[in-house]
Amino acid sequence: MDWITFLLSTPHNDPQLPLAWDADIPGRTLSWNQYVHAVKSVAAGLQATRLEFQGCVALLSENDIYYYALGDAVIAAGGIFCPMQTSRRIAELAHQLKTASVKYLFASPKLLDLALEAARSAGIPDVAIFVYDPPGVEVYRGSRICMSRLMSRDDTQWKNPNVGKDPRAIMAYRMFSSGTTGSPKAAEISHYTHIARVDQRSKGPLSDPTDKARALIWTPIYHSTCQWNYHQAAIGEQTMYVTSDKEVKDVPALIDIIRQYDITATQVPPYFLLPVVACIKNGTRSTGDLSTLIKVSSGGSTIDPHAAHQFRAVFPEIKFLGGYGTTEAGGFALGPGPDISSPGVIGNVFPDVELKFVNPETLVEARDGEDGEVCVRSVQVFSGYHNNPEANTSSFLTDPSGNWFRTGDKGHLDPKTRHLVLTGRYKEIFKIDLKQVAPEEIENVIMQHEAIEDAAVLPVPAKHDQTQVEVKAYVVKKDVTKQVSAEDIIAFVATKLSSHKVPRGGVVFCNEIPRNALKKVVRRKLREIDACEG
């Protein structure tokens, strides 16, 4: 079965009730009937533009309740949908367009000029740039093809070109990898795989058939985590509220939205745990403002056990869950998450998932309980990277009974609990004096300093021996007017970590740390940072 047939076979009990609410525009909602009409009418319109079967159509937009309705329309027209990572840099947008072989690009009016420049750089003709103007926002009046005009078509004209095709062989999505250590790659997600991911989430540990969650999407919607949550609402498993993506400074506003809409479930990236706690402790907001929250899941990067412990202490009534997954392999572990006494713990591996742990250099399987590179095999694993045979070769372990995807993460299964435990990331781990150093461990310690808002570290050539490396830190102050020196940071870390983990390679005070959608540090951009006054 193809994804669109699966989607349209799950009508809601009351198709007029909202499945999605715009948390930024009062009264703007999306019902099942409106969703279906948007998918079918826009698909019919795209077919009339002669979109080739399996042609790629991208969207560059802010968070919006119709975001994946447009995506599903692209798929319903026989295309492949590519949610673009938003960026203000033309070169980065052009790279995405080229990497995903995008043929047509929708862009919101706010991002249209950027989209046009990026498209020109990528060699996409001007006539292939459309405007994303969904219902409930200002209608586009220009001459370009736009969503509002496509939606005026008769949706009975639509025919599903995916019917009868092998769902494993036709792609539904090209989703970009995080790009934290290298340029983002376009992961191909088949119809079969996407159905498996949506179905798993509707039946997995996060589901609750007795209580339809009111879930809030507030991180960038192009990320796969938001895509999975969005489609839980589309198939009637929860009601979705969507707001613009938030930064740390927006935590009070985020809490206000949770209170206003009686949100019961949301995802909080690890980077946001301490800012949420601080917002309560300093009296900016109260625990009562989050009294409707039942479940909070955290993932996307390493969860600091110190932050998780504080979050649980401040919000003992909220069920805190640690999650683990990747764009390429879907979500495949969930559980209690780490604490001070059990750092790195995630939880149980999902039933349809196989894991093994290998030495990343020899590929020999690790013994039970020993660390190795986490490799995963399941129906949720993607088909491969688009037009990137080199990455595909290096990212999979071949096996006659089914290939294994190499996550690049370091971990093991606890011999007693069988919980997945993550201990680092091989692509980011470096060695000093033959000892392994995980950057996030040092970053978490630096951010415990009362004067520091954010931090990231890198290995740099050691001053005393250019053949060796030492730690260099990049830090952001909470208050630029307060004095804190590099020596202060070095001394602070030295009281908490082994000497080889102390940032003796320097401390750079900067304006911000480059992070992706789920607030992972984008390390390849750290060296571009301009130092500001310390």
CA dihedral 237, 239, 244, 250 (to 10 degrees): -100
CA dihedral 511, 516, 519, 524 (to 10 degrees): -60
443 pLDDT above the threshold of 50: yes
**Listed residue (148, 91, 149, 140) closest to 120, CA to CA:** 91
The reply to whether 339 falls in a domain is no
Enumerate residues 6+ apart whose C-beta is below 8 A from 494.
502
Looking at residue 533, its pLDDT comes to 43
pTM value? 0.88
Neighbours of 203 (CB within 10 A): 13
CATH of the domain at 499: 3.30.300.30
Question: How many whole angstroms separate alpha carbon 265 and alpha carbon 198?
Answer: 17
The reply to whether 484 falls in a domain is yes
Looking at residue 471, its pLDDT comes to 96
Q: Tell which of 157, 176, 197 closes a domain.
A: 197
Looking at residue 530, its pLDDT comes to 54
Question: How many whole angstroms separate alpha carbon 483 and alpha carbon 477?
Answer: 9
Residues 16-20 have a mean pLDDT of 97
The reply to whether 237 falls in a domain is no
Question: How many whole angstroms separate alpha carbon 8 and alpha carbon 3?
Answer: 9
Question: How many whole angstroms separate alpha carbon 221 and alpha carbon 225?
Answer: 8
**pLDDT bucket at 208, cuts 50 / 70 / 90:** low
Amino acid identity, position 76: A
Neighbours of 302 (CB within 10 A): 23
Question: How many whole angstroms separate alpha carbon 266 and alpha carbon 163?
Answer: 35
- How confident is the model over 354-364, as pLDDT tens digits? 999 999 999 99
User: What percentage of the chain has pLDDT greater than the value 90?
Assistant: 82
210 pLDDT above the threshold of 60: no
Contact 327, 187 (CB under 8 A): yes
Give the HSE-up count for residue 491: Cα atoms under 13 Å, Cβ half-sphere: 5
- How confident is the model over 292-313, as pLDDT tens digits? 999 999 998 889 999 999 999 9
- How confident is the model over 80-130, as pLDDT tens digits? 999 999 887 898 899 999 999 999 999 999 999 999 999 999 999 999 999
Domain that holds residue 187: 3-197
The reply to whether 326 falls in a domain is no
Under DSSP, the state recorded for 328 is T
- How confident is the model over 351-389, as pLDDT tens digits? 989 999 999 999 999 999 999 999 999 999 999 999 999
- How confident is the model over 229-238, as pLDDT tens digits? 999 999 999 9
**pLDDT bucket at 534, cuts 50 / 70 / 90:** very low
Rounded to the nearest integer, the mean pLDDT of the chain is 93
Q: Tell which of 179, 197, 215 closes a domain.
A: 197
Looking at residue 520, its pLDDT comes to 86
Enumerate residues 6+ apart whose C-beta is below 8 A from 250.
none
The reply to whether 124 falls in a domain is yes
**pLDDT bucket at 196, cuts 50 / 70 / 90:** very high
Looking at residue 407, its pLDDT comes to 95
Question: How many whole angstroms separate alpha carbon 107 and alpha carbon 109?
Answer: 6
The total domain count for the chain is 2
CATH of the domain at 161: 3.40.50.980
- DSSP letters of 295-314? EEEE-SSPPPHHHHHHHHHH
E strand intervals along 63-176? 80-83, 102-107, 129-131, 171-176
The reply to whether 494 falls in a domain is yes
Q: Tell which of 197, 230, 256 closes a domain.
A: 197
The reply to whether 40 falls in a domain is yes
Looking at residue 211, its pLDDT comes to 60
Residue 489 CA: distances (Å) to CA of 286, 443, 477, 532? 31, 11, 11, 16
The reply to whether 522 falls in a domain is yes
User: What percentage of the chain has pLDDT greater than the value 70?
Assistant: 96
253 pLDDT above the threshold of 70: yes
Buried b (16+ CB within 10 A) or exposed e, 306-322: bbbbbbbebbeebebbb
